[in-house]
Structure 1
Amino acid sequence: MQYHLNGFKPGNHQIPDAAREPASLAPIVDLPSEVDVLIVGCGPAGLALARQLAAFGDIKTCIVEQKPGPMLFGQADGISCRTMEIMEAFNSSEMLVKEAYQLHQNAFWEPDNEQPNHIKRTHKVADARLGLSEFTHSVVNQARLHDILLEGMAQSVTHLVPHYNRQLLTLEVDSELTQDLNAYPITASFERVDAQPAKVETIRARYVVGCDGARSAVRKNLSIVLEGDSANKAWGVMDVLLVTDFPDIRVKSFIQSKDNGAVMLIPREGGYLVRLYVELDLLDKDQRASNLELNVDDIIAKAQLIMSPYKVDVKEVAWWSIYEVGQRVADRFDNTPAGNPEGLIPRAFVAGDACHTHSPKGGWGLNTSLPDTFNLGWKLAAVLRGQSDAKLLQTYSSERRKIAQHLIEADRQMSALVATRPSAQKDTQVKTNTADIEKFIARQNGFIAGTSIQYNPSFICSGTEHQHLATGFTIGQRFHSAEAIRLTDGRPQHLGHLNKADGRWRIFIFGNQQNPTDRASDVYQLVQFLESSVTSPVKKYTQDNADIDAVIDVYGVFQQQDLSIEDLPDYLWPTKGKYGLRDYEKVFHAKQDSDIFSQRGIDRTSGCMVVVRPDQHIATILPLNATEELSAFFAEFMLA
């Protein structure tokens, strides 16, 4: 798709430029007095959490934002492979794939040895993240991502919409009530920013999640401390429509000049828009970028100097900012003491930029923030709905803080490689070149893409002794999708796309070489256990009046090509809903040309069960006959 030819216009890119207008704001209504979950902040972390919780009609959620309305432009633009997989869980990936710019190449530019004040291309390479997912690392306006999440919230069963123009004044957590799950230990007061005279509203909540950015008021009220390096380098960033003879204007480019600094160029969606990150000046200790008194003309002039001899004629600036490079992470991600030695139930959380800050050049901000709350959302829902023990909430901090620490270290290295001038911590810059950047990207490609994120062993990540049964499905990492053929109609299906953001667990039964229709086969015996045994986690945790897959959704994937659905156990094509209609979309066989058993290292002789969490991460792998171990796994945290 192409758009922005005659000027940048935000909004739904399915609407032509000439007709596109920002969506009208919903009327302002009073905050509710009591809610289950209070979300502060409408950034990617807050909206992803709200989008997930909006799907549960029995959970009352409220999301508030200080700004007067939705974001229109600017800020984050990179959408990693993993974020695209999460958006698929919301049934929203197709729109992003259609609209976004897809990153397939990287170009590297350095000073020309013969004319040192000019730059020249050293080489181009394919993007290192290609092939890590069925999705491609892409670029799209953060506001557009917000629009899609907001649309999903509004169209959900709860019709959830944000409350804008609210500034958090106070947040109190009553420590006497935090261990009572039925209590409302959170009390928050907000000032209506738009109201004259000022109007203060108070809301009580069972849980609160601060997604309110790097200057988080929630974090400050919880006395959570950011640890790490303060800002030491200023960079300018701008989204521009320009005329240029720079040949790689539609390729992600790393540009280093001899004496004038560096530029990182990111092509934007629509075919014409471009983002430039421009290295500016070194900051003194305790100095802020705002003290430099620079404006967009200074950023443009610096970019023109760095990119000499190429012409950079900026026709329109859609958005610009000056930011500071610093890497910090919160000492804890919830209201419990660091390490939570007493095993307390957390009731207040921070996520996204509220608990980790860094430079935006690596595209990690949005792509770490959104998975933060994708990790937390299903856990909150499971506890609030009485499905899981509240200790499940303790795993959010332990799982996501480790990722944030890795992020901070990676960003520190990336910032040093991209810059050409010394930082505040060093008097002299260690000489780097674009080859160093290329090696770093290749080394970190799985982390950058989000596909190699792996959670440590815990009661919801276990069973590594059986990892050999499916070496391509790493326990703790996300379910790496691959295609199989749906048995009933022959349609190819990405199995990873079955893992929707609906709070359900999934069990994928990968059959062995025995015929699954044989009553003596391991698969048949496993299915009989799941359907009928009193110790079956499906029977134990599913209410009698609910569909059989309401809590744990089971799929069968078989090596045999000649199966017929009517010969398989009824449990694999169950009756559901008020009419008892058959579900014909739970059984698959391997493709002949690209066999999932080979692609994901599944033991053909033994087969296995792959248990997938509601956030798409693999919880455990078990042999087909390990029914006792399967029951014990769920019994550790699920409530009957």
Structure 2
Amino acid sequence: MNVQVTGVIVVGAGGAGLTLATELALVGVPAVVLDRLPGRNLQSRAGAIQPRTAEMLALRGLLDDALGRSIDYRLVGGHFAGLPVPLDYAAWDTRYPHPVLLPQDQLEAVLEDRLTELGGQVLREHRLTGMQQDADGVTVTATAPGGELSLRGRYLVACDGAHSSVRKIIGADFPGEAATVRMGTADLLLTGDVDDSSSGHISSRIHTSPQGHFAMITPLANGLHKLIFSGPQTMLAERDAPVTPAEVREVLRATHGGALDVAEIRYSSRFSNASRQLEHYRHGRVFFAGDSAHIHSPAGGQGLNLGVQDAFNLGWKLAAVLRGDAGEELLDTYQSERHPVAARVLALTRAQGVIMGPQRDGGLGELRDVLTDLLRLPEANRYMAGVMAGLDLCLPSPDAEAHPLLGLRMPDLDLLLDDGERIRFSDLTRSGRGVLLDLGDTPLAAAAPWSDRVTHVRARVEAAGTGAEAVLVRPDGYVCWAGGAGLTETLTRWFGPVRTRG
């Protein structure tokens, strides 16, 4: 059997897998995506992207396409546990201060279109059947429409979901908490008066019953609505059991009386509040990202965003190593930077599950009231908005006395270039390279040896600045140096040593 050779094998063509493959293709690193399905999953599934994900799409020039595919309905803010206080994302100085109602299938369409433009490929109906790794790479076998495929890459990234085949082949433990709540989701046509003109805050869309039913309805395109639901019947259903009109009708009757009924179910699936996370995101030459690395309740709408941001973090690092710009030690930062982020999300979703649970004796209602009052305080609201939107992330730094901007996301500043052109910072990041933004009066010369990996731009900030005369920004949009000493050391750490010319 002939063995096809590539740089990176990506298993799974969901949000994380497509993001990763696109990041690699952007800088010329070959990757092949394997997916077991015959085509893209057309169910909406995750329904929105958070502000930080919107910012990261803007870094690559993908956001306009995503916004063009979004639902024409503006959510007024984020939420924590469905409590009736919108989280104010504007307090985090972002151009995208509200969730974007973008079904997952549409985000995947944006990513796959870009991947195709860049010459990448998704091999559909390719089911992984075997995998072996050695000191130099990973070899996989997969069943395909034309027979069996053998593929070898330097690395493999598992983005194949909660029931990851790669995770099972490796035998990696997936510790955590088993499901206590089973739910369903459906893209459907409804009859009756569906109110899509409410405040746009999620709490206005959550309906419950004393018998334990739960329903949340949000608009989709073409007259469809997305229903997330649970109830006594759903709690007993097997994971692979089809969602039936009778099951949905029972939930709607309990939560909306006779006001709504189901006319047609287009797509449906089931999920739970199981909460699990791999202890190690790397096993030799195999990495895990997205739901293959962590699963949790969808409370708060962070799952898709978490996986896409995993891929943005890992993609440029894999590319740097494969191009010979950086050593293997760069890949270790994926674990140290992304594992704590997912651990916090798991904790937050478990907490929200308790708060959103059915009312019982024991003060749960009073706890909701207390938390609602706390979220009305500007500082508490800003804190939780940053957490839920991914805007507050600060990457670990060994320097306790570092500049306050170090480790934070780079603001998308309005810039005036030396030639008079006005741009945004995100216009400088389309190529997937690092950016040295030089804002001082004296040009920096230290970055010249890294000009093949880092874009050096002199500019002035149009409005409020960074508080530093220069900043070095990684390809994923995080500041890794902000003025002062240590620029050469930082360039070497993140972008590799200077190449000797022979």
TM-score interval w.r.t. the shorter chain? Answer: 0.7 to 0.9
- Give unpaired runs (5+ residues) of structure 2: none
Alignment partners' CA distance in 2, 1:276 and 1:249: 17
Taking the TM superposition and a 5 Å limit, the aligned residue runs for 1:2-401 are 33-57=4-28, 59-101=29-71, 103-105=74-76, 126-132=86-92, 133-135=94-96, 136-156=98-118, 159-174=119-134, 177=135, 183=136, 185-192=137-144, 194=145, 199-245=147-193, 247=195, 250=198, 251-254=200-203, 255-257=206-208, 259-261=210-212, 263=214, 265=216, 267-270=218-221, 272-281=223-232, 289-290=238-239, 295-308=244-257, 311-335=259-283, 346-401=284-339
Select the structure with the greater relative contact order (CA < 8 A; seq sep ≥ 6).
Answer: 2
CA distance in structure 2 between the partners assigned to 1:77 and 1:316 by the alignment:
19
Structure 1 residue 211: Cα displacement:
0.5
AA matched with 1:478 = R
8 Å contact 1:508–1:610 — kept in the other structure? Answer: yes
Output the CA distance in 2 between the equivalents of 1:173 and 1:421. 51
Q: CA deviation at 1:256?
A: 4.8
- C-alpha distance in 2 between matches for 1:373 and 1:351: 7
CA offset digits 1:148-198 (Å, max 9, x no partner): 111111111xx1111111111111122xx2xxxxx3x31211112x45xxx
Cα–Cα, structure 1 residues 294 and 164, in superposed 2: closer, same or farther, change >3 Å?
closer
Q: 1:421 to 1:326 in 2, by over 3 A?
A: farther
1:13 aligned residue: none
Q: Give 1:207 deviation, angstroms.
A: 0.4
1:266 and 1:392 map into 2 onto residues whose CA distance is: 43
Distance 1:63-1:445 versus aligned 2 partners, 3 A rule: same
Which of 399, 402, 418 is the matching residue for 2:340? 402
Query: Does the CA contact (< 8 Å) of 1:327 and 1:356 recur in 2?
Result: yes
CA distance in 2, matches of 1:429, 1:234: 24
- Please say if 1:413 is aligned against 2:351: yes
Cα distance change of structure 1 residues 248 and 152 upon mapping to structure 2, 3 Å threshold = closer
Per the TM alignment, residue 636 of structure 1 is displaced from its structure 2 partner at its CA by 3.6
CA shift digits 1:211-233 (9 cap, x unpaired): 10011111122222111101111
- Partner SS state of residue 175, structure 2: strand
Q: 2:395 aligns with which of 455, 458, 461?
A: 455
Q: Deviations over 1:90-131 (max 9, x none)?
A: 2110122233235433699xxxxxxxxxxxxx9965553245
Query: Quick one: which amino acid aligns to residue 465 of structure 1?
Result: E
How does 1:485-524 map onto structure 2 within 5 Å? 485-489=416-420, 491=422, 493-500=423-430, 502-511=431-440, 516=441, 523-524=442-443
CA RMSD of aligned residues (A): 3.0
> In the superposition, relative to structure 1, how do residues 249 and 466 fare at CA in structure 2: closer, same or farther (>3 Å)?
same
The answer on whether the counterparts of 2:187 and 2:268 sit within 8 Å (CA) in structure 1 is: yes
Q: Say yes or no: does 1:596 pair with 2:464.
A: yes
Q: Are residues 401 and 100 of structure 1, via their aligned partners in 2, closer, same or farther at CA, if it must alter by over 3 Å?
A: same
1:485-513 CA-partner distances (Å, limit 9, x unpaired) = 4453453x32244233x3421112233xx
Is the Cα–Cα contact under 8 Å of residues 49 and 377 in structure 1 kept in the other structure? yes
> What's the secondary structure of 1:290's corresponding residue?
coil
Q: Any idea what SS the aligned residue of 1:303 has?
A: helix
- SS of aligned partner of 2:61: coil
- 1:291 deviates by 8.4
Using the TM superposition, give the Cα deviation of residue 383 of structure 1 relative to its aligned residue in structure 2, in angstroms: 0.6
- Count of residue pairs the alignment pairs up: 483
Cα gap change, 1:275/1:293 in structure 2, threshold over 3 Å: closer, same or farther? Answer: closer
Structure 2 counterpart of 1:478: 409
- How many angstroms does 1:305 deviate by? 1.3
- Contact (CA 8 Å) 1:277, 1:361: kept in 2 or not? no
The answer on whether the counterparts of 1:267 and 1:273 sit within 8 Å (CA) in structure 2 is: no
Separation in structure 2 between the aligned mates of residue 618 and residue 282 of structure 1, nearest angstrom: 49
**Separation of aligned partners in 1, 2:114 and 2:78:** 37
Deviation of 1:436 after TM superposition, in Å, equals 6.2
Letter in 1 for 2:497: L
Following TM superposition, by how much is the alpha carbon of 1:432 offset from its aligned partner in structure 2, in angstroms? 6.0
Residues in 2 aligned to 1:106 and 1:257: alpha-carbon distance in whole angstroms: 22
Q: Is the 8 A contact 1:289 1:323 kept in 2?
A: no
Whole-angstrom distance in 2 between the partners of 1:294 and 1:429:
34
SS of corresponding position for 2:130:
strand
Is the 1:233–1:280 contact (alpha carbons within 8 Å) kept by the matching residues of 2?
A: no
**Which residue does 1:14 correspond to in 2?**
none
Q: TM-score, normalised by structure 2?
A: 0.87
Compared CA separation, residues 504 and 262, structure 1 to 2 (3 A): same
2:497 matches 1:639? yes
CA deviation after TM superposition for structure 1 residue 449, in Å: 1.1
* Structure 2 CA distance for aligned equivalents of residues 259 and 95 of structure 1: 43
- The whole-number CA distance in structure 2 between the counterparts of 1:401 and 1:376 is 12
Per the alignment, residue 550 of structure 1 pairs with 452
| Residue 608 of structure 1 pairs with residue 479 of structure 2 | no
Equivalent residues of 2:275, 2:295 under 8 A apart: yes
CA contact (8 A) 2:11 2:34 kept: yes
Q: 1:494 to 1:106 in 2, by over 3 A?
A: closer
Change (3 A) 1:360 1:437: farther
Mapped to 2, the partners of 1:451 and 1:497 lie a distance apart of 20
Q: CA-to-partner distance for each residue in 1:399-427, whole Å, 9 max, x for gaps?
A: 111111011101101122222167xxxx9
Q: Name the aligned partner's letter for residue 461 of structure 2.
A: A
Decide whether the 8 Å contact of 1:233 with 1:283 is kept in 2.
no
More helix by share: 2
Matched residue type, 1:295: T
1:354 CA drift (Å): 0.2
> What is the DSSP-based 3-state SS (H/G/I as helix, E as strand, rest coil) of the residue aligned with 2:108?
helix
CA contact (8 A) 2:437 2:472 kept: yes
Counterparts of 1:295 and 1:282, CA distance in 2: 11
Please tell me the residue identity of whatever aligns with 2:44: G
Q: Distance in 2 between matches of 1:270 and 1:408?
A: 30
